A and B are shown apart, each in its own frame.
Chain A
C-alpha cells in the first residue's frame, strides 16, 4: 500500500519538476521547486514507513525546515535584489 502512495508522490514530483523546467517566469520555477520540496518531505516520511524504519521522520522534519528557509531566501533575493536588505517593508528597496 505504501508503494502506491510512493508512486503517486513520485508522479507529483515529476509533474512539479516538469513545471520547474518549462516555467516561463522564474516565479513558476520557485513555486515548482517549493512544491517539490514539500513532496520530498512526504516521500521521506512514507519511505520510512515503507522500509519499516520510522526514524526517517527526523530527516523529514529537518528537510521541511531547510526547504522553507531556502524558499524564503530565494524570494527575498528576487524581491529586493540582494539578501542584505533589512526586512519588514512592503515596498522593494530603491537603488
Chain B
C-alpha cells in the first residue's frame, strides 16, 4: 500500500515537472506576449496542480494536505485573474496581438518561399 501510494505520488510529481518545464520552454519560444500567456498558463494549472497533488499523496490525511489544498485553490483563483489583468493592461496600452499563420512574419500572408 505504501509502495502504491509512492508510485502514484511519483507519477504525479514527474508529470507535473514535465508540464512545468514545457511551460517554461513555451515562455521562451513563443513569439508574442499573448501567446506566451499560454506557456505561463500551463505551468500555473497543470504544473502546479500535479506537483501539489503529488505532495498531497505524500502528506496523507493531515494538516499538511489541508494547507496544500489551500495553496492549490488560491493558485487556481489568482492565476487566471492576474493573466486576465495582464492581457487587459497590455491591450489597453496598445500592445497588438500577433496575427497570421504560424511561421510567417506580421505582414507576410504568402506561403513560405524556400
Contacts and interface: CB of A to CB of B under 8 A. Distances in A.
Interface in B78-108: 78-79, 81-82, 85-86, 88-90, 92-93, 95
Where chain B touches its partner, the secondary structure class is helix
A4 B15 CA distance: 12
Nearest to A29: B33
Contacts, number: 137
Contacts of B10: 1
* Chain A binding surface SS class: helix
B37 interface: yes
Nearest to B13: A5
B47 A12 contact: yes
Contact of A34 (B16, B40, B64): B40
A39 B71 CA distance: 12
B41 to A, nearest CB: 9
Nearest to A67: B78
Contacts of B28: 15, 18-19
B20 A68 contact: no
Interface string A1-30: 110110011011111101100000101101
Interface string B11-50: 0011011101101110110000100110010011001100
Nearest to A45: B55
A95 to B, nearest CB: 14
Interface of A: 1-2, 4-5, 8-9, 11-16, 18-19, 25, 27-28, 30-32, 34-35, 38-39, 41-42, 45-46, 49, 54, 57-58, 60-61, 64-65, 68, 71-72, 75-76, 78-79, 90-92
Interface of B: 10, 13-14, 16-18, 20-21, 23-25, 27-28, 33, 36-37, 40, 43-44, 47-48, 51-52, 54-55, 58-59, 64, 67-68, 70-71, 74-75, 78-79, 81-82, 85-86, 88-90, 92-93, 95
